[in-house]
């Protein structure tokens, strides 16, 4: 039932509204709306009940294990939300932040400092509203750097084939051509290909480390040396920072520019698809190009830096200061954890992933890289099962929903056929992981004894498997009476 | 250990299963000299009591000012139910609905949101949102370049009456796409796009014309004439609109003979708190012909294997996770939680409520301007109709006046000198439905005292 089905002409949620309408005769007739907008006419209880019921159709971290690889679906501490929603923060108009928001700017300044330290970079800008926007900002800074040196022949960005789709998309938005670098058998960048690919046209390389294959890139220092020697720069996609938080710093690996996903590593809520925050960090040479605004501390007072202070900045990415409410949540989280707590994040995320990987290998699942340590995530391949039992990774994922688990990422990275990328995160207990292992084993048996049940999964969710082809062919994107 | 549930026993059992003697051993593939943990200098962790005290003390250093500023972010009343429901864990802690069967709540809500936004703008379809109004406009410009196949020039007419920071963001985002951004001046007396300056582009290859409504000065543009000009010159029309205003003013889909092609804008007024500038969300709607050029997530209705209606992400062949370097945009999420709030907000307000809010904002700003005009040296800078913002000239530099007002606990507006120095000392002021007659009188009295002292 849609909210529109609750609608009855003349019904309102009166308590919410100004008591009466105001005179609009000063708005010329020809600029006015003739027909009221087709919004639902419902009571407050109708609305509360409808959306409460809708919420109950979702799987979420608060209700289920959500082992979605490369997304770091860890527990979102409630206190982060409570404090970010203090009226002193929530009620602040963006134009008031400097004159009346010294407390807010202090939080943001401290967060810049914390992220700088934990990433080993020279400075951080909190401006990007999401990881993809951080990527855009990072690549734009690389470009600004080369252009400032009049090194304009560099028109290519190297991207490993295991990279997130956003990497090539961001490079293209910055006007670059993308050259894919393959992966070797152990999950590392194919060094020989890389060596042949780098040269005077290389603007830089975008890397995720640990990579999306769930392993640490062993040749990272060699890659850095090779790319730097050719005059290129190294971009760090922070999607997997959770695996090494507080233990290994991207700056120490030789990266010139990074973005962090605070909605992953710093546990801000994913909110059904956003908001995120994608701060960028840079080494000394990219400092002048950081996106605005930045928070500065001068004689104990905080202020926003603008174009006047940073004339070489790549500019602004949103109308105001990025996703401030997300940044506040990340700040609270960082203060709760502190130095020790951050290191523990990496340690226990890694422990959980390796435990899960070992137990699943022992149960007969095939790992993409059985001889490697898992980072905070790992890949299983269902290629054999798909071939022998006609049960695909997707079928398997759907059947997990019936066992009360959200499904891992499927069919990514693209280079491993029939794959599942599993990331348990550090906030899950051994008992929860054991429950997941048990479900995996049961589904595996089921795939052998009654594969039909797996192929037709899910069976217990609010809807059964949906027809995506129909959705794309017979587009129905809005409700029409 | 904060948020880590492992007991000592768990850890030893898990290590035994792995065949490792310590957690540290699990990092043995990483060169030891890269393991920098000893060098990371960060404050020690805190418990919840300590962190609450710390952040409350910082929050106390903020002052909440009585707000008469708009300029792209508006203080509206948010019904209590909106965030009570939006922060339910099932919405708050879920992610992008990749597994549709386990995400029907979010997906159905997005479908309802798309329906409401398409209805508000009078266009066929909506995406599931973008980061904010400014980045949404940048995406709309890129989209128009892809969608207008008749145009080869990649030329966008971007009036100075569009929010100045939106224009900066557009510049940042499209910088490397060989797109020509042409600034259109405004009429001195009305603060609206000067039709004469458009005439110079007639008959030339123009890819799109951006039309703000209301514009940055709060003034209402002559949208029919502007959209008709665009249609006659084979340019697409990109509308940048305030969603609250759409309860009262003509929706983009009805502009001129043909209607606008793309509408975008800042969704914050729909139930999202000011929060010092974010997170907000950008909305985007368009004609259905352009769906394959639209950036961002889109939800569609379909059926499951038993024939039951359900919802799923669709038209994903535009997106980065499939198209990689050939995607319509690098965007890979929407602003889900804010859209959740906006959908609940619009459901609670309905057509009657949104119209009341919009008309009250308009009325309050009218009364504010009338009140301020009685102060010597203060007056409206532009004639003509406005929605809920207006430009008033001052007899003293706006920066100083704003600082004095802030001392009295008032955020007096937006200093236009930053981006429009040619206007002289001038403020952009706004009074939403949350301001009372007493608030307005208090502002006027403070301003009078400052200017006549």
- Residues B379 and B257 placed together within one structural domain of the fold: no
> Does some domain include residue B8?
no
Residue where a domain terminates, one of B343, B358, B379 = B343
Domain boundary among A315, A337, A359: A337
For the record, the structure tokens of A101 come out as 């928001």
Chain B residue whose CA is closest to A163: B324
> Packing angle between helix A324-362 and helix B48-60, nearest 10 degrees?
160
Whether residue A320 is found in the same domain as residue A179: yes
| Cβ-based contacts of B312 with chain A (< 8 Å) | 466, 468, 471
Determine phi and psi for B60, rounding to 5 degrees.
-65, -20
Measured CA to CA, the distance from residue A26 to residue B386 in angstroms comes to: 8
- Specify the pairing of strand A419-422 against strand A378-381: antiparallel
Evaluate whether residue B153 is within a structural domain: yes
Nearest CA in chain B to A343: B37
Distance CA A105, CA A82 (A): 18
- How far is Cα A393 from Cα A411, in angstroms, rounded to an integer? 8
- Quote the pLDDT of residue A54: 98
Q: Please name the helix (run of DSSP H) or strand (run of DSSP E) that holds residue B111, with its range, or none.
A: helix B104-121
pLDDT digits (tens, 9 = 90+) for A96-113: 988 899 999 999 999 999
Does pLDDT of B39 surpass 80?
no
Q: Domain check: are B172 and B305 in the same one? A: yes
Residue with tokens 């890129």: B142
Q: Are residues B317 and B374 in the same domain?
A: no
Residue range A219-242: average pLDDT?
A: 98
Q: Distance between terminal CA atoms of chain B?
A: 60
In whole angstroms, give the CA distance from residue B369 to residue A386.
70
Helix A430-449 with A324-362: angle, nearest 10 deg: 50
Please state, in angstroms and as integers, the Cα–Cα distance from residue A370 to each residue in A361, A463, B29, following that order: 8, 36, 14
- Considering only CB atoms, which chain B residues are within 8 Å of A44? 79, 81, 348
Residues 6+ apart with CB under 8 A from B135: A129, A133, A317, A318, B169, B173, B282
Helix segments in B122-194, DSSP class H: 133-147, 164-174
Distance CA B443, CA A106 (A): 29
Model pLDDT, residue A59:
98
Asked if the Cβ–Cβ distance from A28 to B304 is below 8 Å, we say no
Domain final residue pick, B315, B343, B371: B343
Mean pLDDT of A331-359: 97
> Other C-beta atoms within 10 Å of A232: how many?
26
Range B423-432 average pLDDT:
98
What's the pLDDT at A416?
Answer: 94
How confident is the model at residue A236, as a pLDDT? Answer: 98
pLDDT at A221: 97
Residues forming a β-bridge with A123: A282
Mean per-residue pLDDT, A361-380: 97
Percent of chain A with pLDDT over 70: 100
**8 Å CB contact of A135 and B330:** yes
Residue A279: pLDDT band with limits 50, 70, 90:
very high
Give the span between the Cα atoms of A183 and A205, in whole angstroms: 14
Q: Give the residue among B147, B152, B142, B148 at the shortest CA–CA distance from B205.
A: B152
DSSP-assigned letters across all residues of A31-94 = GB-SS--------HHHHHHHHHHHHTTB--TTTS---BTTT------HHHHHHHT-HHHHT--G
Q: Nearest residue on chain B to A4, judged by CA atoms? A: B112
Q: Which of B277, B306, B317 sits opposite A320 (nearest CB)?
A: B277
Phi, psi angle pair for A480, to nearest 5°? -120, 130
A319/chain B closest Cα distance in angstroms: 5
What are the pLDDT digits (tens) for B400-423?
A: 999 999 999 999 999 999 999 999
Residue B154 belongs to a domain:
yes
pLDDT in tens, A17-65: 899 999 999 999 999 999 999 999 999 999 999 999 999 999 999 999 9
> From CA A110, how far away is CA A104, in angstroms rounded?
10
> Lowest-confidence range among A352-356, B53-57, B61-65, B94-98?
B94-98
In a domain, A468, yes or no: no
CA distances from A91 to A88, A227, A330, A343, B67 (A): 6, 47, 19, 35, 9
**What CA–CA distance (Å, rounded) separates A88 from B11?**
42
DSSP state of B66: E
- A149: closest CA of chain B, how far (Å): 17
Choose the final residue of a domain: A337, A372, A397.
A337
DSSP per-residue letters across A88-118: HHHT--GGGHHHHBHHHHHHHHHHHHHHHHH
- Kindly tell me the burial class for residue A47, based on how many C-beta atoms sit within 10 Å of its own C-beta (0-12, 13-18, 19 or more): buried
- Candidates B323, B143, B308; CA nearest to B238 is B143
Identify the CA nearest to A326 among candidates A278, A254, A359: A278
In this model, does residue A274 exceed pLDDT 90? yes
pLDDT range class, residue A364, cuts 50, 70, 90: very high
Mean of all residue pLDDT scores within chain B: 96
CATH number for position B363: 3.90.1150.10
Q: Are residues A208 and A296 in the same domain?
A: yes
The sheet carrying A202-208 orders its strands as A123-125, A280-282, A257-260, A233-238, A202-208, A156-160, A177-181
Please tell me the predicted confidence (pLDDT) of residue B38: 62
User: Token match 């890139």: residue?
Assistant: A217
Encoding tokens for residue B125? 């379809």
Task: Give the integer Cα–Cα distance in Å for A460 and A389.
Answer: 23
Alpha helices (H) along B208-314: 223-232
pLDDT tens digits, residue range B219-278? 999 999 999 999 999 999 999 999 999 999 999 999 999 999 999 999 999 999 999 999
- How many folded domains does chain A comprise? 3
- Its domain, for residue A155, covers 79-337
**Per-residue tokens: B212:** 């703000």
Question: Is A74 part of any domain?
Answer: no
Q: Does any domain span residue B21?
A: no
Work out the mean pLDDT of chain A and round it to a whole number. 97
Judge whether A478 lies within some domain.
Answer: no
Of A120, A315, A350, the CB nearest to B172: A315
Residue B37 pLDDT greater than 80, yes or no: no
Same domain for B387 and B356: yes
Report if residue A69 sits inside a domain.
Answer: no
Check if the beta carbon of residue B340 is closer than 8 Å to that of residue B91.
yes
Whether B144 shows a pLDDT value over 70: the answer reads yes
How much of chain A, in percent, has pLDDT values that exceed 90?
Answer: 97
Output the domain CATH number for residue A419: 3.90.1150.10
Residue A125 included in any domain: yes
Q: Among all chains, which residue has been given the structure tokens 């379909």?
A: B302
- Which of B277, B309, B343 is at the close of a domain? B343
pLDDT at residue B346 is higher than 70: yes
Q: What is the tally of structural domains in chain B?
A: 2
Q: What CA–CA distance (Å, rounded) separates A312 from A20?
A: 51
DSSP-assigned beta bridge partners for residue B410:
B66
With an 8 Å Cβ cutoff, are A166 and B406 in contact?
no
Full domain range(s) for residue B304: 80-343
CA of A300, closest CA in chain B: separation in Å? Answer: 13
Cβ count within 10 A of residue B7: 10
| CA separation for the pair B126, B130 (Å, rounded) | 11
- Tell me, yes or no, whether B317 and B364 share the same domain: no
């Amino acid at each position: 039932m849609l909210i529109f089905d609750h609608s009855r002409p003349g019904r309102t949620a009166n308590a919410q509204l100004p008591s009466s309408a105001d005179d609009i005769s000063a708005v010329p007739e020809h600029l006015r709306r003739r027909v009221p907008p087709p919004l639902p006419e419902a009571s407050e209880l109708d609305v509360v009940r409808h959306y409460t019921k809708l919420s109950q159709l979702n799987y979420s971290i608060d209700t289920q294990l959500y082992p979605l690889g490369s997304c770091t679906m860890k527990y979102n501490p409630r206190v982060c939300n409570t404090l970010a929603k203090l009226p002193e923060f929530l009620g602040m108009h963006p134009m008031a932040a400097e004159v009346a928001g010294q407390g807010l700017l202090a939080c943001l300044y401290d967060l810049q400092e914390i992220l700088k330290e934990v990433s080993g970079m020279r400075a951080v800008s909190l401006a990007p509203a999401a990881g993809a926007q951080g990527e855009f900002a990072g690549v734009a800074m690389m470009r600004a750097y080369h252009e400032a040196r009049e090194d304009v022949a560099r028109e290519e960005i190297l991207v490993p084939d295991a990279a997130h789709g956003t990497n090539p998309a961001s490079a293209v938005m910055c006007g670059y051509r993308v050259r894919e670098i393959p992966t070797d058998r152990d999950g590392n960048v194919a060094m020989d290909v890389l060596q042949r690919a780098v040269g005077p046209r290389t603007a830089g390389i975008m890397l995720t480390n640990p990579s999306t294959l769930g392993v640490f890139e062993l040749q990272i220092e060699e890659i850095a040396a090779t790319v730097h020697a050719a005059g290129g720069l190294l971009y760090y996609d922070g999607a997997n920072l959770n695996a090494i938080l507080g233990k290994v710093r991207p700056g120490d690996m030789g990266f010139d520019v990074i973005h962090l996903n605070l909605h992953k590593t710093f546990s801000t809520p994913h909110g059904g698809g956003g908001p995120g925050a994608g701060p960028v960090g840079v080494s000394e040479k990219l400092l002048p190009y950081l996106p605005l605004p930045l928070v500065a501390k001068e004689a104990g007072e905080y202020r926003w830096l603008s174009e006047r202070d940073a004339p070489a900045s790549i500019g602004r990415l949103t109308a105001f200061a990025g996703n401030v409410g997300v940044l506040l949540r990340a700040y609270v989280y960082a203060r709760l954890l502190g130095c020790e707590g951050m290191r523990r994040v990496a340690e226990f995320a890694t422990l959980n992933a390796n435990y899960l990987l070992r137990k699943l290998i022992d149960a007969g699942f095939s790992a993409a890289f059985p001889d490697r340590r898992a980072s905070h995530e790992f890949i299983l391949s269902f290629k054999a099962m798909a071939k022998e039992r006609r049960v695909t990774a997707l079928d398997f994922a759907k059947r997990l929903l019936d066992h009360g688990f959200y499904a891992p990422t499927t069919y990514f990275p693209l280079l491993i056929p029939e794959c599942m990328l599993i990331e348990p995160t550090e906030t899950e207990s051994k008992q929860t992981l054991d429950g997941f292992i048990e479900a995996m084993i049961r589904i595996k048996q089921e795939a052998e004894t009654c594969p039909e049940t797996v192929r037709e999964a899910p069976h217990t969710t609010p809807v059964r498997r949906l027809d995506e082809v129909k959705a794309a062919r017979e587009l129905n994107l809005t409700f029409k009476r | 250990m904060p948020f880590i549930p492992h007991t000592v026993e768990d850890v030893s059992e898990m290590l035994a299963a792995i065949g490792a003697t310590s957690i540290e051993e699990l990092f043995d593939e990483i060169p030891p000299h890269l393991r920098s943990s000893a060098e990371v200098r960060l404050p020690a962790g805190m418990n919840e009591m300590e962190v609450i005290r710390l952040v409350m003390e910082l929050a106390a250093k903020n002052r909440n000012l009585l707000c008469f500023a708009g300029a792209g972010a508006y203080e509206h009343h948010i019904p209590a139910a909106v965030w009570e429901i939006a922060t339910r864990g099932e919405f708050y802690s879920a992610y992008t609905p990749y597994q549709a069967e386990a995400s029907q709540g979010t997906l159905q809500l997005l479908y309802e949101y798309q329906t409401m936004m398409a209805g508000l703008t009078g266009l066929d379809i909506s995406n599931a949102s973008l980061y904010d109004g400014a980045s949404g406009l940048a995406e709309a410009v890129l989209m128009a370049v892809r969608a207008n196949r008749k145009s080869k020039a990649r030329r966008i007419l971007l009036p100075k009456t569009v929010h100045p920071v939106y224009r900066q963001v557009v510049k940042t985002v499209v910088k490397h796409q060989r797109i020509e951004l042409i600034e259109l001046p405004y009429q001195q007396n009305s603060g609206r796009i000067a039709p004469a300056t458009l005439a110079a582009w007639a008959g030339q290859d123009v890819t799109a014309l951006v039309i703000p409504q209301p514009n940055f000065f709060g003034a209402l543009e002559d949208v029919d004439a502007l959209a008709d000009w665009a249609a006659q010159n084979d340019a697409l029309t990109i509308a940048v609109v305030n969603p609250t205003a759409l309860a009262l003013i003509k929706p983009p889909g009805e502009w001129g003979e043909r209607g606008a092609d793309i509408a975008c804008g800042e969704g914050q007024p729909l139930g999202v708190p000011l929060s010092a500038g974010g997170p907000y969300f950008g909305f985007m709607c368009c004609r259905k012909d352009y769906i394959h050029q639209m950036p961002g997530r889109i939800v569609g209705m379909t059926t499951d294997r038993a024939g039951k209606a359900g919802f799923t992400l669709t038209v994903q062949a535009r997106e980065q996770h499939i198209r990689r370097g050939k995607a319509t945009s690098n965007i890979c999420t929407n602003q889900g939680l804010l859209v959740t709030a906006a959908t609940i907000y619009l459901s609670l307000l309905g057509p009657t409520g949104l119209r009341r809010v919009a008309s009250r904002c308009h009325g309050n700003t009218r009364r504010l301007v009338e009140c301020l005009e009685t102060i010597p040296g203060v007056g409206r800078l532009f004639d003509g109709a406005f929605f809920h913002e207006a430009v008033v000239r001052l007899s003293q530099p706006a920066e100083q006046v704003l600082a004095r007002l802030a001392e009295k606990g008032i955020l007096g507006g937006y200093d236009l000198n930053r981006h429009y120095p040619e206007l002289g000392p001038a403020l952009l002021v706004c009074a939403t439905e949350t301001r009372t007659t007493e608030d307005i009188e208090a502002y006027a009295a403070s301003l009078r005292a400052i200017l006549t002292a």
